Structure 1
Amino acid sequence: MNNSVYKLSLTDTAAPEIRPGKLGEFGGSNPSGDAYGFTNFYMTRNGQPFIPVVGEFHFSRFSYLHWEEELLKMKAGGVHIVATYVFWNFHEEEEGIFEWGGDRNLRHFIDLCAKLDLPLILRIGPFCHGEVRNGGIPDWVFSKPIEIRSNDPGYLALANKLYREIAKQMKGSLYQDGGPVIAVQLENEFMHCGAPNDAWGYKAGKFMTSGTGGNDHLMELQRIAIEAGIKPLFFTATAWGGAAVPEQGTLPMLAGYAYTPWIPNQPPSREFVFRDLHHTPAEPVNYDTREYPVAYCEMAGGMQVSYNARPYVPADSVEAMTLVKLASGSNLLGYYMYHGGSNPVGKKTYLNEQFLPKITYDYQSPLGEFGRVGESYDRIRTLSMFLEAFGDVLAPMPTTIPEGQSDIPSEDTSTLRWCVRQKDGSGFVFVNNFQDHIEMPDRRFRIELETSQGNVSLPSTGEITIKGGIGVVLPFNLDLGGIQLVSATAQLLTKLESDGEQTFVFYAHEGMTPELVFRKSSLSSIDPGAGTVEDIGPNSIVRPAAGRRHVVRARTSDGHEVRILVLTREEALQSYKVSLWNKQTLVISDSHLFVHNNRLVCTSSNSEVTVSLLQTGTMDLRSNKGTLARKQDGVFETFKISIPAFEPSLSVSKPSGRSALLKIDKEWPAEVNDVWLHIDYEGDVAEAYLGTRLLTDHIYYGHPWQIGLKQFRNDLDKGDVHLAITPVRKGTVTTFVNQAQVERFEGVEIAEFRSIRAIPEYQVSLFPQRI
């Protein structure tokens, strides 16, 4: 056999037993009749299989003035459910004094999630971790003669008080009462790990207890929560590392991290190797995995840089981990973090965990500190769009692992990594060519499947190439609006229906020639447009032209028309599926988009924005700023919005190589949403001050520092922004004690600003003009 040809028989693959499982009796509906529920294999939404995307966003780590915009960006990015921590020490830093205002206003955040139709999971502690001081336990708790994270009556009394305060903020917000809160997590990583005890103070490296009491303690916390009025549709528990998991009413959640500060000199991880997680979890767990859906609440959306470990998390890894977990059977995908932020400053101290930045919790996440949009935001949005359109098809499909795949060494760069999810001969092939800490080569391959619906080859003849660092999802034997798709070497992105016409959207990965194979018996005609079509046996093979200007038009055997678009990879990364102006549409733009008040909001660092909309019809659109030009662009209409370019006023003086003083004008035109400082420097740690206020900080890890200024804008005329670098030392440090500790250093100290720029971020809106 050619070593680039991979074969798998699926004809004897048993369908999974879909049954209620341990969560079958949990779930419920809201007053509008919308409902969530469970089987042992997947979550349901209004009775249909559902694979939700969950995005972690800590409200208290972001300015409340901008929560709504950031939540809208999350929703546009494909997030179905928001998760957030309620950090005890952020709200009761001083005993008996609870703070729920400003950036700590949990109720306002809940209400915004309700307004934007974003279900919410609250993670309410008492212990949270989340890289905050003492894992969220206030310092004053350690002065009590109690055992934390246990059934000690004194500790439970404090938990009861905390939960009752949270319940006041939550009143009326449970899903069954018409609110957004569908689930609550009690505790975190219980019986698995603790956090640094920063209240100890005498020595670094002291850790809090991982907890005692097992499931009994979690059930006691659940009893206290329910008595306080916190009774969601279901509870959740972080279940990795042998953590405790109550058997009833709790969804166990898993984690996957590849760039980890807690593993020195980390070798390539096993997070990018396929396995069947429903039957064989990635690590030992304290529950029967066959009774619950596989659910991830902490897939790495990035990683926070710490002083002692400074990993860089590439966007490729976030996309690849999503693909691998999905292929391995996960039917809930949760990103930690999806949206980073900034720690608040406490009354008595900073509230960060030791060795981490005092303020920044950017996390290199898809959306970062100050609302930074990262490259991974576009990558995982394509997969979220796929799940929104085809998740009900994928969710009941079990994972089939080809022989030897689960045992592939992480360091192996020569074996193709692939698996299948399928049911009744219909499904998806997953191929991953990414591995952390290793560069993967381009690979040629051909996959041949024996299915109950006939044999399938990807591609139909010859081989295709997958580039190093990417993954791909290839469908086979799917029904596309009455047309039978036998196979495709392009990835499904989404589907739309408007005025009775269905459109299916694929995209072609670089180096992977797109091919669509259809069963001829399901077609009455097919027009490949700028592509070609060839009939071979029972199939019609279409080799479409990729790009939004091209369309394949097919007519089913009973006369319905189906449109097929095959975008380029670049176009797919610029695509959004939105509900706008009473219809669903696909939008491709070189800006970032979200929908607000029936307007399409476009945000970009360029003063010219291009937006291409599918199916606008005769609608007359206008922009709220700038000039607007439109043209027909195949089946799209393309709008070009031109805004007067703005050059922010920035003057920089450098009292020393370690300091820079910035004068920044706070007068910005209306079309400028923010001004970003892009700071390219080399050093150890950098801090930004406005007067005596520490705005944010940055531990150097080889990539530029970005600071959004809009939340500080009104204070920019009060003084200079001071950037200070602590130098990195390259040399030898000798320490000894001579009455006091003495340090001798021989070498060079590096602290250098390479460039400091102010870059405007423009924001304009498109909306219909009624004539």
Structure 2
Amino acid sequence: MVVLRIRNSHKRKYAFICLSIFGFIMYRYLGTPVGGRRLSRKLGLHANNSQFTLAGEPFRILGGSVHYFRVPSAYWRDRLMKAKACGINTITTYVPWSLHQPERDVFNFQTQLDLESYISLVAELGLWVILRPGPYISAELDLGGLPSWLLQDENMRLRTTYPGFTDAVNVFFDKLIPKIVPLQFKKGGPIIAIQLDDSYGSYAKDNRYMPFIKEALTSRGVSEMLLTSDLSNGLKAGGVNGAIRTMKLWKLRTKDMQELNSVQPNSPAMVTDIWSGMADAWGDLHHVLAPEDMVSTVREILRRGMSINLYMFHGGTSFGFMSGALGIPSYKAIVPSYDYDAPLSEAGEYTPKYHLLRDLFSRYNKTVEDVVA
């Protein structure tokens, strides 16, 4: 009888442990009580008149760009944990078409290009994701991340609704989008927003192009908030109905805010790229931006109640021959280092910018656990 009681006791403990684990998983992925109220995954990122909300609660995006394809997968966790420790609540990353589809009939989503594993790790660490799948992404990549085999078509017209281009985009999105749809916020994942193309307002060759990209995403199951991102003078031409317009900038100028307000009144404002530095070209000195100058701009953006994303928070390395080049005023190839004078150096080391930003973000930060698990 004593042995039987001991065994029953062990069974009860084992059952309790299993139920606790199951309960934690449900708590983590289906909603956490905030102020005694359970929040719903049915309410994703939403733009009210003056602020974003997530799961119905006020939410300020404190983002940082960390490109999975520029960081060896063994270091992903380290870089992301350092981003969270700085006060970042959202990771943004581009998706390089040229790397995922290096040849017309070859696709690669393995190891360092395992986007699903990267996004899942971001979620595990309690961070959100803004995904930037292009198809054009700029990012100092050769051909802006478009695969070079597109140019085998001598009539090719990139970033337009030319059938040779749209057919290729559709093939790529058929492979990519099913991987990210289950990782959206409303499905229990960390993706709260998705950006359409990149800086199209500076190109704008085809007014049907951005509606095509929007339809290509939504028809495949993308249901989270859509964004566009442009310099202030490209906000109008680069936008599309149904997507929030956001800005790229070095310094916050009055005319930038006026332009954003004129094309998008009564909506929360976001800077999707506040540059922490810039890429270096062969023959140039390493570009640096004084920490105090960058942080003063970030401080002013936050003081105005805007959301923000640091480009880059951690730059990493442009491996192999993926680097692009500058064409204006003259041709200059970009070096493989993508240090970008970012808060975390190319080697993942802390910089003075990191410490200043951590102190600043501590006044504004609201963790994922404070919003919804």
Q: TM-score, normalised by structure 1?
A: 0.40
Partners of 2:150 and 2:277 in 1: how far apart? 32
1:130 corresponds to which letter in structure 2?
Answer: A
2:66 pairs with one of 47, 53, 57: 57
Q: Counterpart of 2:219?
A: 227
Partners of 2:51 and 2:193 in 1: how far apart? 16
Structure 1 residues 88 and 189: CA distance shift in structure 2, 3 A: same
Question: Mind listing any 5+ residue stretches in structure 1 that lack a counterpart?
Answer: 1-29, 193-209, 258-270, 390-576, 580-771
Whether 2:321 is the aligned partner of 1:312: answer: no
Partners of 1:151 and 1:125 in 2: how far apart? 14
Q: Counterpart of 2:24?
A: none
Please say which structure displays the higher CA radius of gyration: 1
2:306 corresponds to which letter in structure 1?
Answer: N
Secondary structure at 1:336's aligned position in 2?
A: strand
Q: Counterpart of 2:242?
A: 249
Q: Counterpart of 2:267?
A: 292
Q: Counterpart of 1:71?
A: 80
Q: CA deviation at 1:272?
A: 6.0
CA contact (8 A) 2:64 2:310 kept: yes
Partners of 1:578 and 1:118 in 2: how far apart? 6
Structure 1 residues 131 and 247: CA distance shift in structure 2, 3 A: closer
Q: Counterpart of 1:180?
A: 190
Partners of 1:148 and 1:232 in 2: how far apart? 26
Higher strand proportion, which one? 1
1:158 corresponds to which letter in structure 2?
Answer: A
Alignment map for 1:597-746 (pairs within 5 Å): none
Paired positions, count? 322
CA contact (8 A) 1:242 1:284 kept: no
Q: Counterpart of 2:309?
A: 334
CA contact (8 A) 2:46 2:225 kept: no
Q: CA deviation at 1:284?
A: 4.1
Deviation sequence 1:542-574 (CA, Å, 0-9, x none): xxxxxxxxxxxxxxxxxxxxxxxxxxxxxxxxx
Deviation sequence 1:170-205 (CA, Å, 0-9, x none): 24111100011111112111030xxxxxxxxxxxxx
Alignment map for 1:540-619 (pairs within 5 Å): none
Partners of 1:41 and 1:90 in 2: how far apart? 38
Q: Counterpart of 1:190?
A: 200
Structure 1 residues 283 and 308: CA distance shift in structure 2, 3 A: farther
1:125 pairs with one of 120, 127, 134: 134
Q: CA deviation at 1:299?
A: 0.6
Deviation sequence 1:412-432 (CA, Å, 0-9, x none): xxxxxxxxxxxxxxxxxxxxx
1:351 pairs with one of 309, 322, 333: 322
Structure 1 residues 386 and 285: CA distance shift in structure 2, 3 A: closer
Deviation sequence 1:201-239 (CA, Å, 0-9, x none): xxxxxxxxx24223x31111111112223x132111013
Q: Counterpart of 2:353?
A: 376
Secondary structure at 2:350's aligned position in 1?
A: coil
CA contact (8 A) 1:366 1:373 kept: yes
CA contact (8 A) 2:62 2:88 kept: yes
Deviation sequence 1:48-74 (CA, Å, 0-9, x none): 332220111110000001111211111
Q: CA deviation at 1:89?
A: 0.8
CA contact (8 A) 2:131 2:193 kept: yes
Q: Counterpart of 2:161?
A: 151
Partners of 1:330 and 1:159 in 2: how far apart? 36
Alignment map for 1:20-99 (pairs within 5 Å): 31-32=30-31, 33-34=40-41, 35=43, 36-99=45-108
Structure 1 residues 323 and 61: CA distance shift in structure 2, 3 A: same
Structure 1 residues 374 and 291: CA distance shift in structure 2, 3 A: same
Partners of 1:38 and 1:228 in 2: how far apart? 23
CA contact (8 A) 1:150 1:217 kept: yes
* CA RMSD after TM alignment: 2.4
Partners of 1:45 and 1:227 in 2: how far apart? 23
Partners of 1:45 and 1:578 in 2: how far apart? 10
Secondary structure at 2:131's aligned position in 1?
A: strand
- The structure with higher relative contact order (CA 8 Å, sep 6+) is 2
Q: TM-score, normalised by structure 2?
A: 0.80
2:302 corresponds to which letter in structure 1?
Answer: L
Q: Counterpart of 1:303?
A: 278
Partners of 1:50 and 1:110 in 2: how far apart? 20
CA contact (8 A) 1:239 1:285 kept: no
Q: CA deviation at 1:282?
A: 4.3
CA contact (8 A) 2:199 2:238 kept: no
Structure 1 residues 185 and 87: CA distance shift in structure 2, 3 A: same
Q: CA deviation at 1:333?
A: 1.1
2:151 pairs with one of 142, 149, 157: 142
Secondary structure at 2:192's aligned position in 1?
A: strand
Whether 2:156 is the aligned partner of 1:163: answer: no
CA contact (8 A) 2:73 2:111 kept: yes
Secondary structure at 1:387's aligned position in 2?
A: coil
Q: Counterpart of 2:15?
A: none
CA contact (8 A) 1:76 1:578 kept: no
Q: CA deviation at 1:287?
A: 5.8
1:252 corresponds to which letter in structure 2?
Answer: R
Deviation sequence 1:307-337 (CA, Å, 0-9, x none): 365432111112111012223x351011101
1:147 corresponds to which letter in structure 2?
Answer: R
Q: CA deviation at 1:372?
A: 2.0
2:350 corresponds to which letter in structure 1?
Answer: V
Structure 1 residues 256 and 168: CA distance shift in structure 2, 3 A: same
Alignment map for 1:193-272 (pairs within 5 Å): 210-214=203-207, 216-229=208-221, 231-240=222-231, 241-243=233-235, 244-257=237-250, 271=251
CA contact (8 A) 1:55 1:337 kept: yes
1:387 corresponds to which letter in structure 2?
Answer: Y
Q: CA deviation at 1:37?
A: 2.3
CA contact (8 A) 1:281 1:289 kept: no
Structure 1 residues 118 and 317: CA distance shift in structure 2, 3 A: same
CA contact (8 A) 1:242 1:286 kept: no
1:151 corresponds to which letter in structure 2?
Answer: T
2:298 pairs with one of 296, 315, 322: 322
Q: Counterpart of 1:544?
A: none
Deviation sequence 1:321-364 (CA, Å, 0-9, x none): 1012223x35101110111111122xxxx111123444211111
Partners of 2:260 and 2:355 in 1: how far apart? 33
CA contact (8 A) 2:87 2:362 kept: yes
Structure 1 residues 372 and 357: CA distance shift in structure 2, 3 A: farther
Secondary structure at 1:370's aligned position in 2?
A: coil
Partners of 1:70 and 1:179 in 2: how far apart? 20
Secondary structure at 2:281's aligned position in 1?
A: coil
Higher helix proportion, which one? 2
Partners of 1:369 and 1:332 in 2: how far apart? 25
Alignment map for 1:394-473 (pairs within 5 Å): none
1:351 corresponds to which letter in structure 2?
Answer: M
Partners of 1:168 and 1:242 in 2: how far apart? 31
Partners of 2:120 and 2:334 in 1: how far apart? 30
